[in-house]
Amino acid sequence: MTLAQRAGLHSEARSQACAAVLQRLRDAGTRQLRVSWADLHGLLRGKSLVCGEHLPAAVFDEGLGLVSTLLLKDSSDRTAFPVFDPAKMHALPGHDGAGNVLLLPDPSSFLLLPWAPGTAWLRGEPFWPDGSAVAADPRRVLQRALAALAQAGYGLRCGLEVEFHIYRISDDGLAAADATWPPEPPAVRLLHPGYQLLSEAHADLAAEALAIVRDTLLGLGLPLRSLEIELGPSQFEAVLAPTDALTAADHMVLLRNGLRQALRRAGFHASFVCRPPLPGAIASGWHLHQSLVDGEGRNAMACAAPAGGANDARQVLSPAGARWLAGLLHHARGMTALCAPTLPAYSRYQGSVMAPQVAVWGRDNRGALLRVLGGAGDADTRIENRLGEPLANPYLAVAAQVWAGLDGLARGLDPGPATETPYAAGVTPLPATLAEALEALAADEALQRGLGPAMATVFDTVKRQELDRHAQAEDKAQWERREYFSRY
């Protein structure tokens, strides 16, 4: 019995899809095939197979072996668990001994990488050798969340607004004598001086890099709507059209990994770190637009007619939409660690430009954590959650919205009135540090249930190891520069 059969994925349709991929590889003259999986940090990991007569067709049914410690790495690539001490690995069965997980290629994900001639790509799904699911796989966590949402009669559509930085490399920092773990990032120069939001002149200055961004994202099949100049020096924003939540999370993985690779080949350093360790840098956010849809694909957040008073959520949202909004507010502190999982992200909540500081909602208010857009009869009615940083694992960040929203629906929560003063005192503040955010996540029963014991254990242990290493660092600025800016 093959791995695909043991995992319950074997079917005639899948066999035909795998055969079609093999034919596409031959027709395109592809020289190598990457099979990759997104780890806890959203970084793609995998193997490159040589195409041609030596490519075993059996890989589509039997998978590729990867060391299971890849699921347990912190942001420096250090394993956060004592995998060679079985007595301490009871919470994570299967990971002791650093044995293999198997990546089973998903034939529906086939891509030709636009920046890498002769290279194709497939997403891999991790399974244990017996065919059972790997519980600490972030993508599978989102799939479980969406299955629970479907049982409640809804789907979720998400649109992405992603801020990031691009720099021109002046010294790649790859001299062998300078090797460190983690490595030093390259020395860089700005592409535009900043402080002129949506400047056409700055877009023209950065035209070479933006052309690479555009061609890469479109070449990957992503629904790119616009590329924009953000406020900070060398800061940009990409806006993607809405799609179903799982596809949107897949798009975020492809966007981050693809842009870093394509731009690096052309001599640029792209970074999705919230606040790069450079003078004048302005923090980047990841704004997640979301709307519930019913079984017919119609927007279930739009109300037929306004209800309640002037600042009532039912002026712009359906009853289900208002309860979803309330769930997001109620779980805002708990979900912060999943939406902002790095140390530099927390400076953004302490007074950055148009960034949230407290758990409030507002109508078209960019200072509020949750910005509600649309209104009665508007099919584009949606909630924009401004909590996230662009380094969040997209599967966990989107799953957090689902668990929070489902809790709001199940308990009939009330979001309270809209705010017109999003920075007023006396409202529940967002966590000020990653450590505080982890405590809030650990205390949030709905989010813990959603993560499941294995994923909750991995996330908490990995992040606390990062915190411990940061606390022990003599030069904390250097630590953050190497830990995040170098390769995320």
Tens-place pLDDT, residues 446-486 = 999 999 999 999 999 999 999 999 999 999 999 999 999 99
Dihedral (Cα; 393, 239, 353, 235), 10-degree rounding: 90
Please check whether residues 120 and 188 belong to one and the same domain: no
User: Of 106, 134, 162, which closes a domain?
Assistant: 134
Q: Which two tokens stand for residue 411?
A: 């308990």
Report if residue 244 sits inside a domain: yes
Total residues belonging to the chain: 488
Q: What is the CATH number of the domain that holds 59?
A: 3.10.20.70
| 374 occurs within a structural domain | yes
Q: Does 363 reside within a domain?
A: yes
**Worst-scoring range by mean pLDDT, 25-29, 157-161, 385-389?**
25-29
Same domain, 261 and 200: yes
- Taking residues 110-120, what's their average pLDDT? 97
Q: Are 114 and 237 found together in one domain?
A: no
Q: Do 46 and 177 share a domain, yes or no?
A: no
Please, which residues have CB within 8 angstroms of residue 239's CB and are 6 or more apart in sequence? 159, 160, 161, 162, 224, 225, 226, 227, 228
Whether 464 is covered by a domain: the verdict is yes
Share of the chain above pLDDT 70, in %: 100
Query: Do 164 and 88 lie in a common domain?
Result: no
Would the pLDDT of 57 be above 90? no
Q: Which domain holds residue 213?
A: 145-485
Q: pLDDT class for 91, splitting at 50, 70, 90? A: confident
Whether residues 108 and 190 share a domain: the answer is no
Same domain, 74 and 184: no
Of the three residues 109, 134, 159, the one that is the final residue of a domain is 134
What does the H/E/C string look like for the chain? CCHHHHCCCCCHHHHHHHHHHHHHHHHCCCCEEEEEEECCCCCEEEEEEECCCCCCCCHHHHCEEEEHHHHHECCCCCECCCCCCHHHCCCCCCCHHHCEEEEEECHHHCEECCCCCCEEEEEEEEECCCCCECCCCHHHHHHHHHHHHHHCCCEEEEEEEEEEEEEEEEECCCCHHHCCCCCCCCEEEECCCCCCCCCHHHHHHCHHHHHHHHHHHHHCCCCEEEEEECCCCCEEEEEEEEEEHHHHHHHHHHHHHHHHHHHHHCCEEEECCCCCCCCCCCCCCEEEEEEEECCCCCECCECCCCCCCCCCHHHCECHHHHHHHHHHHHCHHHHHHHHCCCHHHHHHHHCCCCCCCECCEEECCCCCCEEEECCCCCCCCEEEEEEECCCCCHHHHHHHHHHHHHHHHHHCCCCCCCCCCCCCCCCCECCCCHHHHHHHHHCCHHHHHHHHHHHHHHHHHHHHHHHHHHHHCCCHHHHHHHHHHCCC
Q: Name the more confident of 103 and 376.
A: 103
Same domain, 118 and 149: no
Higher per-residue pLDDT: 377 or 243: 243
139 assigned to some structural domain = no
Q: Are residues 221 and 87 in the same domain?
A: no
**Domain holding 250: CATH number?**
3.30.590.10
Regarding whether 392 and 317 lie in a shared domain, the answer is yes
pLDDT grade for 426, boundaries at 50, 70 and 90: confident
Q: Which of 134, 169, 194 is the last residue of a domain?
A: 134
Handedness of CA 312, 316, 319, 323 (dihedral sign): negative
Peptide bond into 182 cis (omega under 30): yes
Q: What is the pLDDT of residue 10?
A: 94
* pLDDT on residue 299: 97
130 and 179 together in one domain:
no
Tell me: the pLDDT tens digits for 246-301?
A: 999 999 999 999 999 999 999 999 999 999 999 999 999 999 999 999 999 999 99
Domain count, the chain: 2
Q: Please give the average per-residue pLDDT across 369-377, as a whole number.
A: 94
Pair (53, 8) in one structural domain:
yes
- Please check whether residue 140 lies inside any domain of the structure: no
Return the minimum-mean-pLDDT range out of 56-70, 220-234, 256-270.
56-70
Quick one: tokens of 437?
A: 């955010």
Structural domain includes residue 350: yes
CA-based nearest residue to 113, from 57, 185, 36, 172: 36
Look at residue 148 and tell me whether its pLDDT is greater than 90: yes
pLDDT of residue 56: 76
Q: Mean pLDDT across the stretch 306-318?
A: 91
Examine the pLDDT at 52 and tell me if it is beyond 90.
Answer: no
Residue 177's pLDDT is what? Answer: 87
Please state which of the ranges 90-104, 249-263, 431-445 shows the lowest mean pLDDT.
90-104
Q: Is 66 a member of any domain?
A: yes
What is the rounded average pLDDT of the residues 362-373?
96
Neighbours of 115 (CB within 10 A): 18
Rounded to the nearest integer, the mean pLDDT of the chain is 96
